[in-house]
Structure 1
């Protein structure tokens, strides 16, 4: 089971690691998109969210307080779904569909991150192939 969890962690964070690199290397370009969505302080928000998802993803990947890392990813995903993908505001059917898919993807990944938070918090030190145990203890 430990190896399956490790493989799952690696696969789960690939999207976030890629996104973090984009946020941190293409900050201005992504900030322009964020600004078009009405995000306040878009440059700071883009850089800050890049750091947030990088820390969360590396935490889950390495198993260093992986429960906290999963929580950080959820903290990123739910506001992102609402702020960046408000499909209900789109009048063009194709744009509405694209935003709807991205909204549901972010919400679904947020749900998976919450499950990981519970899983890591509950399993604690019984879960192998992590560098630390959980920060939180959910029972």
Structure 2
């Protein structure tokens, strides 16, 4: 089971690592998109969220306080669903469907991150292939 959990951690963080790289290397483009969605202070928010994504994903990947990493990813993805993908404001049916899909994906990722946090916080010492036990 330890190997399956490691594989799951790797697969789980691929999306977050890619997004972190985008936030930190294409900051102007990402900030412009965030600004178009009404995010205040979009450039600092883009940089801060990029760091949050990177730290959270690396903690989960490496198994170093992975419970904290999962919590950080949850704290990113839940508000992102509401701030960046407000499908209920879209008039165009195609755009509305696209935003609803992203909104639901973010909610699913938030749920997965929350479950991972709970698993690691309660059973972290019993889950192998980690660099450290849980922080919480």
Q: Mark yes or no: TM-score above 0.5.
A: yes
Aligned-partner SS, 1:51: helix
Give TM-score scaled by structure 2 length.
0.99
Q: Find out whether 1:103 has 2:111 as its counterpart.
A: no
2:47 is matched with: 47
State the Cα distance separating 1:106 from its structure 2 match.
0.4
**Aligned CA-pair RMSD:** 0.4
Distance 2:118 2:127 in 1: 13
Q: Find out whether 1:7 has 2:7 as its counterpart.
A: yes
Distance 1:36 1:112 in 2: 28
Distance 2:58 2:116 in 1: 14
Distance 2:124 2:47 in 1: 32
1:69 is matched with: 69
Distance 2:15 2:67 in 1: 18
Structure 2 spans left out of the alignment, 5+ residues? none
Aligned-partner SS, 2:91: coil
Distance 1:130 1:26 in 2: 32
State the Cα distance separating 1:124 from its structure 2 match.
2.3
State the Cα distance separating 1:15 from its structure 2 match.
0.3
State the Cα distance separating 1:125 from its structure 2 match.
1.2
Structure 1 spans left out of the alignment, 5+ residues? none
Aligned-partner SS, 1:55: helix
Listed as ranges, the matches of 1:1-139 within 5 Å are 1-136=1-136
Size of the aligned set, in residue pairs, is 136
4+ residue runs of structure 1 moved beyond 3 angstroms?
none
Give TM-score scaled by structure 1 length.
0.97
CA-to-aligned-CA distance 1:13-64 (integer Å, 9 cap, x gap) = 0000000000000001000000000000000000000000100000000000
Aligned-partner SS, 2:61: helix
Distance 1:127 1:108 in 2: 23
